[in-house]
Structure 1
Amino acid sequence: MNSGKGGSVEILERLMSSYGVNTQKDLAAALNIPANNISGWTQRDSVPGNAIIKCALDTGADLQWLVTGELAKTSLDSVPDTPKGEALYAEITSNGGKPVLRRIMDAYGFTLQKQLCELLGISSGTVSTWVRRNYFPGDVVVTCALDTGVPLQWLAMGKGTQPGESAKENTATAIPRKNLMSGVLQEAGSWAGDLSFVPHDLVEPIFISSNSGAWIIDASVSSISNGRWLLGVDDKYDIYDVAMLPGRKISVSNKFSNFICGIEEVSAAGNVVLTMEYNF
C-alpha cells in the first residue's frame, strides 16, 4: 500500500512512531517479522495492509493517520480483549476468505461481488482466490475502513461495534503511554482505558508497556514503601517488587534480578497500581 504523504518511507515512520521505536529493526520486532521484509517494502515503495492493521490494533493509532498522515474525524472503537503481537497477527490472518469478504461487502452495502470488483478495479478471479485460499486481503480491508468509516476491529476480526449498532457509553480515560525498552522509557502517545474500578484516585497515571507485560503507575508517588514500583537503577528503569529493610535498606526483585541496596541508590518513577501480564 502506497498512500499519503511520501509513500512507504513516511508510512514506516508513522508505524515506528506508534510503536515508540526508532529503528526499522525494532519495528520488525514489534511486527514480529524478519527485518529484511521492511527493506523490501522500502524498495518496492509499498507497505502491506496487514502490517498497518496490526499496528493500528496493537497501539490504538488512527488508521487514516497511519496510511495518509491525516487524522480521521472519528476515532476507532477499541476492543478490550484484543490480543497483542503474534497472537493478534495470527487472529487477523485467520479471519480471511469468506468471513472478511462478507464484512467488506456489508460495509459497502453491496449484494454482489461484481459490485465490489467494479468499485476496486479488481477481477472476480482475485476475489475467488481470497475465498479459495482463505486469504486475508489487508490492503482491501484498510481501503474499506477508510472508505466507509466502519470500525477496523469489526472489519478485520468481526469484533466490536458493528455498522448500524449504537456504541456503548464510553467511560475510557486517555492517559500518557510510555514503552519500556532495554531500560529506557520512550514516549508512545496515549492509552485509553476505564480506570473507574481502581479503588483510589490516581493523581498522575501513566500506562507503561514492555515485551513482558504492562502496568499502570501513579507517577505522583515517589516516597518508596513496600509494594511494586517503577524504579531507576543507574538510569535504567524496570518494574520491581520492593520490601523495606532496617537501616534504610530495601530488597529489590523481579524475574531478572534480586538485590539489596540503600533506598537512596534507586530513584522512584512511580508506584504500580495495576499489573497486566501476557499469557503467551
Structure 2
Amino acid sequence: MIEEKGGSAQILERLMSSYGVNTQKDLASALEIPPNNISGWTQRDSVPGNAIIKCALDTGVDLRWLVTGELANANYAGVGQLVGGDLYKQIISNGGKPVLRRIMDAYGFTMQKQLCELLGISSGTVSTWVRRNHFPGEVVVTCALDTGVSLQWLATGKGLQQKENAQLSVSSSIPRKNLVAGILQDAGYWEINLSFIAHTISEPIFISSNTGAWIVDMSVAGISNGRWLLGVDDKYDIYNITLLPGRRISVTNKGNTFSCGVDEVTAVGKVVIAMDFVF
C-alpha cells in the first residue's frame, strides 16, 4: 500500500536526515523505540507507517518525501504543539474506530467494503483494527498521500481536515485573460481568495471583457446546463447553455439565441462566478 521507493534503507536515511542524527541507534532514540526494532525493519525491508508518521509530525518534513524521496525536504506549518513521546501517545490512542472513520471520510467512502476493495485488504483486517483499537500506520500514510488530507488531522483528529495542498484555500494567483473581439489575450495573473466557495475549483481562470468578468473552471469539460466559455468558429465568448434532446443545445448570448449540436462548439470551461459591470 505504501510505495517504498528505494527500499527501507533509503527511507531510514531520510528519517535520520529529518531528525538530524547519524546512526540508527540515535534514530531509535528519536523515535523512542528499542534499537533492535530498526534492525528488524532492515531485515524485513519494511518501515512501519507509525514511524514515518511520527517523524513527519515531529519534524515537519514533507510526508511524500519521507516515503518516496520524490519531493524536496521542505517544512510545512501547523504540525501541532505536541512532540516526541507525547505526540506518539496521542497518535496511538487514536486507533480503532476513530482513525477508521477519518480514513473513510478522507476517501469519501460510506462502506468499509469500499475501503477494503481500494486497498486490497480483507474485511477481517479492518475488524481487527476496531477490535484491538489498532492504529494502522501504513494505511494512514497511504490515505494521506492518496487524498492530500491533513496528516495531523488524519493521525490525531486534531486541526483542520482540509487538504494540505488544496488549491485556493488562501489568497492565490490565477491566470487572467482579456476577452477582446472573440479572442482570449493573456493578461498576467489575478489575486483572489476563493475559499468562500463551497466546492473545489480545480483549474480556475479569470476572464475579463468590457461588459463583465467571470471566473471559469477549465477542468469541467462535459457540457451541461449553465453558463459557459465557448468557442464558436474559433471565436470565444460567454454563453448560457440549455441542453436539448438529441445531443443538441440552445445557446444564448446578449439576447441572441441559436441551437446547434454539442460537437459544433468547443466547451472551454464552466463559469462559476459572474461579475456584471454597472456604470
TM-score range, shorter chain: 0.5 to 0.7
**Are the equivalent residues in 1 in contact too, given 2:60–2:77 (CA < 8 A)?**
no
Secondary structure at 1:3's aligned position in 2? coil
Distance 2:2 2:108 in 1: 26
| TM-aligned CA deviation for residue 114 of structure 1 | 0.2
**Are the equivalent residues in 1 in contact too, given 2:2–2:141 (CA < 8 A)?**
no
AA at the equivalent of 1:65: W
The yes-or-no answer on 1:64 pairing with 2:57 is: no
**Are the equivalent residues in 1 in contact too, given 2:79–2:152 (CA < 8 A)?**
yes
| TM-aligned CA deviation for residue 79 of structure 1 | 3.6
Aligned equivalent of 1:51: 51
AA at the equivalent of 2:49: G
Aligned equivalent of 2:133: 134
Aligned length: 168
**Are the equivalent residues in 1 in contact too, given 2:106–2:143 (CA < 8 A)?**
yes
AA at the equivalent of 1:120: L
Q: Pairwise mapping of residues 1-280 of structure 1 onto structure 2 (< 5 A)?
A: 3-71=3-71, 78-81=78-81, 83-163=82-162
**Are the equivalent residues in 2 in contact too, given 1:79–1:159 (CA < 8 A)?**
no
Aligned equivalent of 1:268: none
AA at the equivalent of 1:34: P
Distance 1:75 1:168 in 2: 18
| TM-aligned CA deviation for residue 110 of structure 1 | 0.2
Any unmatched runs of 5+ in structure 1? Answer: 170-280
CA RMSD in angstroms comes to: 2.3
Please list the CA deviations of residues 123-158 of structure 1 after superposition, one character each: whole Å capped at 9, or x if unmatched. Answer: 001101111111000000000000000010000001
* TM-score, length basis structure 1: 0.56
Distance 1:168 1:99, change over 3 A: farther
| TM-aligned CA deviation for residue 75 of structure 1 | 7.1
Aligned equivalent of 1:248: none
Secondary structure at 2:154's aligned position in 1? helix
AA at the equivalent of 1:43: Q
* TM-score, length basis structure 2: 0.56
Distance 1:39 1:141, change over 3 A: same
| TM-aligned CA deviation for residue 163 of structure 1 | 2.9
Please list the CA deviations of residues 196-232 of structure 1 after superposition, one character each: whole Å capped at 9, or x if unmatched. Answer: xxxxxxxxxxxxxxxxxxxxxxxxxxxxxxxxxxxxx
**Are the equivalent residues in 2 in contact too, given 1:2–1:45 (CA < 8 A)?**
no
Q: Could you tell me the percent identity over the aligned residues?
A: 77
| TM-aligned CA deviation for residue 84 of structure 1 | 1.1
Secondary structure at 2:114's aligned position in 1? helix
Distance 2:101 2:132 in 1: 15
Q: From the CA coordinates, give the structure whose radius of gyration is larger.
A: 2
AA at the equivalent of 2:98: P
Distance 1:26 1:75, change over 3 A: closer
| TM-aligned CA deviation for residue 76 of structure 1 | 5.1
